[in-house]
């Protein structure tokens, strides 16, 4: 029998500010950003500003002030695309004989660097590449540039599915932007390189959702024990699954009713949650949440493996839980728990699921005569070393499970 839990959903309206060292990436509707190199639609989007000699990471001695080289970076985000706008102050725009020595922007994502060489709209065309020489073109990335009297600007559209280091549902990602400036067409390398003052891009709505969940439950970010991206709801987007204390939080955009909901586990405190795992048990592409819990009483304790999943009625249900340990003082009975991937994927399944097995009952300090506990009625009871059944398996198909 499935046990249903009331799930609280809260609509989050506030957008949080980015922390120092982060570039905020603001959510916008598709079509708001027109990829034309002009930055009129970016008015009001919070920029990161690179100016002053402290931001020059190469060629500081020959740098002649912000008019020589300085820039701003802005970021917007739709459901499937990140847009970056870079507006550069530069006294000379140069497309050098050597491409890597030309004026250009460098976007660093997840350990990889995207080189953006704008064209001059007359003789040279723009080049976007994953290496400095322009020989590994970045497929799917689109740019538009605009030449100005004292500088240049560029808009870049980056498909999220191809963006290194991006994980849907995460409140931020590692990223930075630098601009290289060349003053002579015959130069062999740029004279100056300036880097913007951020090392991460933060996604405003995702961060707002996370902070709202933490505030609602009275938690601090440092108390998060477990955090992983997974698809537990089934809307083709990843959510953040968090464990804080005895609470499981699901945080993400487009959740039913708002930006997060949570489930309080039936234990006394966070120390009674042994572990949490995200596993696609039935092969439908959604992850179930497995936890091992400790229940304590005056005369002993027991541990259970419980399974929670999100169902078609927009609720979390606990279809089953199984005892894996019963103890009184130093005396105990315990079972082994394993997850085994199925050998074959059934028709209609996205991937192979997992079967759950409980076996190898072992006793310490108890024997058949001294163990007098009645079998559990709220869970599959623990296997006993002297019992007839020494092994128990479960298989999930859709929302139902069967014993093997």
Residues 196 and 232 occupy one common structural domain: no
User: What is the percent of the chain with per-residue pLDDT over 70, rounded to a whole number?
Assistant: 92
**3 is a domain residue:** no
Whichever domain contains 93, its CATH number is 2.60.40.1190
Assess if residue 363 is contained within a domain: yes
CA distances, 1 to each of 79, 314, 380, 399 (Å):
38, 18, 11, 11
Average pLDDT, the chain: 87
For residue range 134-171, list pLDDT tens digits in order: 877 888 999 999 988 889 999 999 999 889 999 877 88
Is residue 6 one of the residues assigned to a domain?
A: no
Residues 209 and 194 in one domain: no
**Does residue 172 lie within any of the structural domains?**
yes
Query: Dihedrals φ, ψ of 75, to 5°?
Result: -140, 135
Residues 143 and 96 reside in one and the same domain = yes
Structure tokens at 162: 């191809």
Does 374 lie in the same domain as 250?
yes
Neighbours of 329 (CB within 10 A): 9
4 domain-assigned: no
Average pLDDT over every residue of 100-116 = 93
Q: Residue 1 above 60 pLDDT?
A: no
Phi-psi region of 44 (alpha: psi -120 to 50; beta: other; left: phi over 0): left
211-221 pLDDT tens trace: 999 999 999 99
Shared domain check, 299 and 364: yes
Q: Is residue 169 domain-shared with residue 219, that is, in the same domain?
A: no
Model confidence at 349, pLDDT cuts 50, 70, 90, reads: low
Instruction: Check whether 47 has a pLDDT greater than 80.
Output: yes
* Residue at which a domain ends, from 177, 203, 229: 203
Q: Verify that 193 and 215 share a domain, yes or no.
A: no
Token pair 């089953």 is found at 320
Task: Give the whole-angstrom CA distance, residue 357 versus residue 150.
Answer: 69
Give per-residue pLDDT as tens, 51-66: 999 999 999 988 999 9
Question: Cβ contacts of residue 260 below 8 Å, gap of 6+?
Answer: 9, 10, 12, 209, 210, 212, 213, 216, 249, 250, 251, 252
CB 89 within 8 A of CB 154: no
Same domain, 235 and 175: no
* Model confidence pLDDT, tens digit, residues 227-246: 988 888 876 677 889 999 99
Q: Are residues 74 and 86 in the same domain?
A: yes
Q: Which of 32-36, 105-109, 356-360 shows the lowest per-residue confidence on average (mean pLDDT)?
A: 32-36
Choose the final residue of a domain: 163, 184, 203. Answer: 203
Determine the pLDDT at residue 360: 97
Report, as an integer, the average pLDDT of 240-255: 89
CB contact set of 344 (below 8 Å; sequence gap of 6+):
352
Please check whether residues 192 and 215 belong to one and the same domain: no
pLDDT in tens, 174-191: 999 999 999 888 888 999
Q: Residue by residue, what is the 3-state secondary structure of 334-345?
A: EEEEEEEECCCC
Q: Does 73 fall in a domain?
A: yes
Task: Please determine, for residue 5, whether its predicted confidence score (pLDDT) is greater than 50.
Answer: no
Q: For residues 25 and 138, what is the distance between their CA atoms, to the nearest angstrom?
A: 22
Say if residue 217 is in the same domain as residue 313: yes
Q: In what order do the strands lie in the sheet with 8-10?
A: 8-10, 258-264, 247-255, 239-244, 224-230
Separation in Å, CA 334 to CA 296, 300, 337, 385: 16, 14, 10, 9
- In angstroms, the Cα distances linking 6 to 90, 93, 262, 277, 379 are 58, 61, 9, 22, 20
pLDDT of res. 333: 97
The total domain count for the chain is 2
Q: What is the pLDDT of residue 121?
A: 67
Give residue-wise pLDDT tens across range 375-400.
Answer: 999 999 999 999 999 999 999 887 78
- For 75, the enclosing helix (H) or strand (E) is strand 69-77
For residues 271 and 175, membership in a common domain is answered with no
Contacts of 353 (CB under 8 A, 6+ apart): 280, 281, 282, 283, 341, 342, 395, 396
Domain presence at residue 215: yes
State the pLDDT at residue 257: 66
**What are the residue ranges of helices labelled H in 155-230?**
204-217
Q: Cα(404)–Cα(394) distance, rounded to whole angstroms?
A: 6
173 lies in which domain range?
Answer: 22-203
Please name which of 201, 207, 105, 215 lies closest in space to residue 160, comparing C-alpha atoms.
Answer: 201
Neighbours of 279 (CB within 10 A): 17
Among residues 203, 234, 265, the one where a domain terminates is 203
In Å, the largest CA–CA distance within the chain is: 93
pTM recorded for the entire structure: 0.69
168 occurs within a structural domain: yes
């Amino acid at each position: 029998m499935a046990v249903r839990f009331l799930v609280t959903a809260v609509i989050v309206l506030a957008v949080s500010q980015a922390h120092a060292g982060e570039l905020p990436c603001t959510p916008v509707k598709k079509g708001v950003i027109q990829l034309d190199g002009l930055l009129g639609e970016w008015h009001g989007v919070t920029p990161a500003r690179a100016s002053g000699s402290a931001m020059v990471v190469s060629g500081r001695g020959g740098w002649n002030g912000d008019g020589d080289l300085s820039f701003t970076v802005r970021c917007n985000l739709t459901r499937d695309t990140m847009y970056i706008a870079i507006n550069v102050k530069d006294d000379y725009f140069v497309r050098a004989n050597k491409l890597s020595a030309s004026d250009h922007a460098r976007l660093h994502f997840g350990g990889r660097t995207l080189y953006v060489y704008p064209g001059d709209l007359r003789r040279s065309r723009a080049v976007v590449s994953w290496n400095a020489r322009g020989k590994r073109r970045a497929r799917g990335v689109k740019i538009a540039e605009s030449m100005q009297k004292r500088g240049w600007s560029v808009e870049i559209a980056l498909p999220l599915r191809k963006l290194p280091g991006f994980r849907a549902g995460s409140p931020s990602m590692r990223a930075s932007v630098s601009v290289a400036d060349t003053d002579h067409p015959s130069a062999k390398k740029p004279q100056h390189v300036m880097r913007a003052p951020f090392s991460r891009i933060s996604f405003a709505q995702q961060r707002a959702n996370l902070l709202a969940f933490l505030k609602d439950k009275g938690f601090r970010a440092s108390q998060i024990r477990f955090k992983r991206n997974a698809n537990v709801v089934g809307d083709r987007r990843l959510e953040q699954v968090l464990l804080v204390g005895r609470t499981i939080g699901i945080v993400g955009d487009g959740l039913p009713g708002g930006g997060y909901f949570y489930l309080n586990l039936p234990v006394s405190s966070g120390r009674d949650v042994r572990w949490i795992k995200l596993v696609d048990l039935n092969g439908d592409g959604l992850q179930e949440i497995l936890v091992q819990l400790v229940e304590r009483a005056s005369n002993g304790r027991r541990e259970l493996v419980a399974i929670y999943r999100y169902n078609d009625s927009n609720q979390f249900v606990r279809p089953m839980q199984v005892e894996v340990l019963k103890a009184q003082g130093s005396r105990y009975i315990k079972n082994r728990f394993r997850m085994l991937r199925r050998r074959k994927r059934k028709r209609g399944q996205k991937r192979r699921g997992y079967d759950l097995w409980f076996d190898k009952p072992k006793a310490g300090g108890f024997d058949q005569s001294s163990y007098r506990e009645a079998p559990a009625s709220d869970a599959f009871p623990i296997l006993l070393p002297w019992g007839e059944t020494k092994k128990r398996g479960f298989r999930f198909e859709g929302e139902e499970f069967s014993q093997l």
